[in-house]
Amino acid sequence: MYVPTDESYQRWKTLVPFIYDWFNNFNVPWPSLAVRWGSILEDKQYKFSQRVYITEQTGAHPGADSNTILSYNVDVTKPRVAAAEHMLFDDGTDGGFSGGNGVNGGGAVGGIGGENTGGPRVSNINLGFFKKVHAIIHPGEVNNMRSFGSLNPDVLVTHTDSENLYVWDVKRQPGRSFKECRVRNDDPNYRASTPDLILTGHTEFAEFALDCHTKEYKVASGGRDKNVLVWHLPDFGANAAVSISNNSNGKVTTNENDVKGPMLNAQCTFKGHTDTVEDVAFHPTDANILCSVSDDTRLLFWDARCDHGKPVNAVKASEIDVHVVDWNALNTNLIVTGGKDKIVKVWDWRKIGELSSAKKGGRKQGENASEKDMVIMSHSHEGEILRASWSPHDENVFASASDDGCLNVWDLTRKKATTNSDEETTTTVNDNENENKPNDGAADGGNNGSEGDGGNTNKPKKPRYGQVPPEELLFTHSGHRNPITDFQWNPHDPWTVVSSGSGANVASTCQFWRISDLITRSKDDVMQELEKHSAYICGRAAKPADSGDDTDDTGDDTSDGGDDVNTKEEDVVKEEQNMTRNPSYETAQEEPFEAMDS
C-alpha cells in the first residue's frame, strides 16, 4: 500500500484555496467504509442543506463500541460562493491551508498569510456546516452501504460480516441516543437496531459486492459463495422497505446472527464465477441486466430473463483480482473496472459482446482482452483500485479511488482523437509504456513481482510528482493520507464529491469538496475570464494603454533589459504583499463563520 508523504500532503494543502471551489474536512473517530448522499432538506440563496450518511466501523470483537450508521445535515455552499472562511480545514495538526499557518478561534479558517496565535483550533463540526441528527446501531460492522439514489436516497442497504444484507428506511428508523451508541457489544444493555428487511440467500459471507437500482427497488449482491444474487423488494408485502407498516405481512424471525426482522429470499441466483465476487453493477435503465467482477479476474454479464447458470457475456478483465465495476448511467455502452493491478479500464459493452460472439469470429468467452478493446487503460494509481464511479452529470467523466490515498477524476473528452489503428497505439495506454515494463509488473498481472504487492518488484517507485499524467486525467484529490474507502458524486450538484479515508495509522477523515470550475471548464473559457481580471489577480492596477511609460526602442538592449528585471522584481514584491493583505482574507478574519448563514 502506498502511503503519501508529509511533503506531498503539505504541498496539497497549500493548493486547496486555488483548486477547489468549496472544501470541508471532518475527522471521524472511527474508520468509515461507506458514505452516501441523502435527500435535499432546504435550499437557500447561497447554500443548500443535504442529508449525508456515514458509517462507523468500531469492530466485531467482544467489548467493541456499537457499529453505527450516522445521519448528518451538511450545509453545501453553492458554486462560486465560497470565500476563505467557508473552506474549513482541521486535520488535527497545527497547520491550516499553508504549512505552519494556524487556524485559530478568531482568525481566518485556512490561514493564508495568517499567523499561528497559539489559540484553540476551530473544528468545523462546531461551525454549523456539519450536524449529527440521527443514529442507527448496526448489527455488526458495516463493510459497504448503498442507496436507491433518485428513487429514494434515504433507503439504505448494508453489507456486514454475514451471509445476510440489511435494508434500512432511515426516516422510519427510531433514532438512537449518543449514550446508546457508546454501549459496548458485550454489555447486557446492548441492543442493535432492527432492520426493516433482511435479505437472505447467500451461503457464505457477502461483504462488499453491492448495488441498488435507481429505477426499481432491486438489490444485487455478491459474496464468497461465488454467486450473484438479486432481490426484488416489492416481493415482500407491499414494498416493506419503504413502508414499515406493511411489515406485518411477513413473518418476523430470528436468523443465526440473532438479528430480528422480516426476511426476504433472493429472486435470482446467478452462478458462473469461480472465486469471490468483489463488485456488481446494474444496467442503469434495465434492472434485468447486471454485471459482476471477481477475484477470478473476469467481468461477467447477466440477464434475469436468461439462464441463471451461464453469463450472457464474459471477458477476462485482468490477470489478477478485479475489485470494482460501475456502469455509466448517461452512456450505457461504457463500463469502468479496476482492481489489484492498479489499472483503470473503461470498456465498451458493444465490443465485449463481439468478443464473446463466436459467429462474429470473436474470442472465446472469458479470453483476455487487448488494449484496443477498451476505451482507455491507464496506470495512474500507485495502489489497488478500491472504488470507481461515473459522474451522474457528464457521460464522459468518472472517478477512481485507490489505497494510495488519491481520488482521480477522468474526462474521456481529453483523449486525443485517433484516425487509424496505428494512431491508436499512441494514446494514453502507450504513453505510459515505461510504467508498463517488467520493473513495474502491474500490466502483466504481477508475473515479475510478489503477489502481495500487486505484482510489483522491490525497485523504488517513481516519484508522485514530476510524472507526465495521462491526458484523460483531469484532477487528483490528494486530501486523504490513508486509503480512500468510499466516495460518491453529489447527484444534485455537479463536480461535488464526498469521500472517506481510513487506515494507515492516520486519522480517518470525511471530506466534502467541489473542483474549481477553472479546472473543469474549457481552456479558452477560462483564459477569457481570467483576462478580464488579470489586474486584480496580479495584484496591481492595469497599465493604461496610452500612459507613455513605454519608451521607444532605442536599440539599447542592455538598459531596457535591466529596467525590465527591476520592474519584475517590484511586481513580485507587490504581489506577495497583496497575498497577505488581500481584503477578502482580512474580511474573513474580522467576520465569524456564521456570516455564511446571512
- Which amino acid, one-letter code, is at 443? A
* Predicted confidence (pLDDT) at residue 449 exceeds the cutoff of 50: no
Torsions phi, psi for 537 (to 5 deg): -65, -40
Q: Encode pLDDT of 528-554 as tens digits.
A: 888 887 777 676 554 444 444 444 444
The pLDDT of residue 178: 84
**Residue 321 sits in the same domain as residue 399:** yes
Q: Encode pLDDT of 456-494 as tens digits.
A: 434 444 444 446 788 899 999 999 988 999 999 999 999
The pLDDT of residue 360: 43
**Residue 466 sits in the same domain as residue 574:** no
- Rounded Cα gap, residues 109 and 122, in angstroms: 8
Among 448, 424, 408, 442, smallest CA distance to 376 is for 424
The pLDDT of residue 566: 52
Alpha-carbon distances of 423 from 48, 129, 200, 374, 417, rounded to whole Å: 47, 50, 51, 15, 9
- Rounded Cα gap, residues 38 and 52, in angstroms: 5
- Rounded Cα gap, residues 385 and 323, in angstroms: 7
**Residue 423 sits in the same domain as residue 540:** no
Q: Coil, helix or strand for 338? A: strand
* Predicted confidence (pLDDT) at residue 349 exceeds the cutoff of 60: yes
Q: Encode pLDDT of 124-148 as tens digits.
A: 333 457 889 999 999 999 999 999 9
Is the Cβ–Cβ distance between 278 and 340 less than 8 Å? Answer: no
CB-based burial label for 342 (10 Å; 0-12, 13-18, 19+): buried
- Rounded Cα gap, residues 265 and 230, in angstroms: 9
**Residue 453 sits in the same domain as residue 539:** no
The pLDDT of residue 90: 57
Give the residue carrying C-alpha cell 428487511.
Answer: 197
Percentage of the chain beyond pLDDT 90 is 47
Residue 455 placed within a domain? yes
**Residue 318 sits in the same domain as residue 407:** yes
**Residue 343 sits in the same domain as residue 484:** yes
Is the Cβ–Cβ distance between 23 and 495 less than 8 Å? Answer: no
Q: Encode pLDDT of 161-209 as tens digits.
A: 889 999 999 999 999 988 888 888 888 889 999 999 999 999 999 989 9
3-state DSSP of 436-487: HCCCCCCCCCCCCCCHHHCCCCCCCCCCCCCCCCCCCEEEEECCCCCCEEEE
pTM: 0.75
Give the chain's radius of gyration (CA, Å).
Answer: 26
Bigger pLDDT: 351 vs 475:
475
Q: What angle do CA 202, 55, 92 make, to 5 degrees?
A: 145
The pLDDT of residue 115: 32
Residue 214 placed within a domain? no
Q: Coil, helix or strand for 569? A: helix
**Residue 481 sits in the same domain as residue 573:** no
Q: 29: how many CB neighbours lie within 10 A of its CB? A: 10
Q: Coil, helix or strand for 101? A: coil
Residue 345 placed within a domain? yes
Q: What are the DSSP calls for 294-333, one per residue?
A: ETTSEEEEEETTS-TTS-SEEEE--SS-EEEEEE-SS-TT
Is the Cβ–Cβ distance between 478 and 409 less than 8 Å? Answer: no
Residue 498 placed within a domain? no
Is the Cβ–Cβ distance between 227 and 202 less than 8 Å? Answer: yes
- Which amino acid, one-letter code, is at 29? P
**Residue 453 sits in the same domain as residue 538:** no
Residue 418 placed within a domain? yes
**Residue 471 sits in the same domain as residue 565:** no
**Residue 333 sits in the same domain as residue 480:** yes
Residue 309 placed within a domain? yes
Torsions phi, psi for 496 (to 5 deg): -105, 135
Residue 33 placed within a domain? no
* Predicted confidence (pLDDT) at residue 422 exceeds the cutoff of 90: no
How many structural domains is the chain composed of? 2
- Rounded Cα gap, residues 529 and 33, in angstroms: 40
Average pLDDT rounded to a whole number, residues 30-57: 94
Is the Cβ–Cβ distance between 235 and 172 less than 8 Å? Answer: no
**Residue 486 sits in the same domain as residue 338:** yes
Q: Give me the domain span that covers residue 428.
A: 272-491
Residue 359 placed within a domain? yes
CATH number at residue 346: 2.130.10.10
**Residue 470 sits in the same domain as residue 583:** no
- Rounded Cα gap, residues 459 and 466, in angstroms: 18
The pLDDT of residue 375: 76
